């Protein structure tokens, strides 16, 4: 979507390896979010950020860490990937009165 990109779009990784997903925005919004989407569970919040170096946990944060060293970039890291982290990951920005905009998603498979 306009103003927000995720990379990579697809990734296959082995159990136990670290993985970093990147979310980049071009619109300088303060709030950014990482969600995962799984069948039967809908969208669940992993972590969110309300500014540079300001982050907080969501409902499913175990096994994930985030960093935000620049306004435009929000990184999600799986320190040691597990099969239960196989999912589709979405990044989102809060555009204030224009609501949320989501990235196209990253499909992650842990084998």
Closest to 1 measured CA to CA, from 75, 100, 109, 70: 100
The answer to the question of residue 39 lying near other proteins (CB under 8 A) is no
Q: Which of 1, 27, 38, 54 binds other proteins (CB under 8 A)?
A: 1
DSSP string, 33-72: EEEEEETTTEEEEEEEEEETTEEEE-TT-TTEEEEEEETT
Q: Which is nearer to other proteins, 19 or 32 (CB)?
A: 32
Residue 54 binding other proteins, by CB under 8 A: no
The least distance separating other proteins from the CB of residue 14, rounded to whole angstroms, comes to 24
DSSP state for residue 15 in the 8-state scheme: T
51 is a contact residue toward other proteins (CB under 8 A):
no
Question: Least distance from C-beta 80 to other proteins, angstroms?
Answer: 27
Alpha-carbon dihedral angle through residues 52, 54, 57, 62, given to the nearest 10 degrees: 70
Q: Does residue 81 interact with other proteins by CB under 8 A?
A: no
């Amino acid at each position: 979507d306009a103003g927000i990109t995720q990379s990579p779009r697809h990734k296959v990784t082995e159990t136990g390896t670290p993985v970093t997903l990147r979310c980049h925005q071009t619109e300088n919004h303060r709030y950014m979010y990482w969600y995962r989407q799984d069948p039967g569970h809908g969208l669940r919040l992993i972590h969110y950020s309300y500014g540079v170096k300001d982050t907080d946990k969501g409902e499913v944060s175990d096994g994930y860490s985030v960093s935000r060293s620049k306004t435009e970039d929000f990184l999600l890291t799986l320190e040691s990937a597990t099969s239960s982290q196989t999912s589709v990951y979405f990044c989102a920005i809060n555009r204030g009165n224009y609501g949320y905009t989501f990235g196209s998603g990253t499909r992650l498979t842990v084998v």
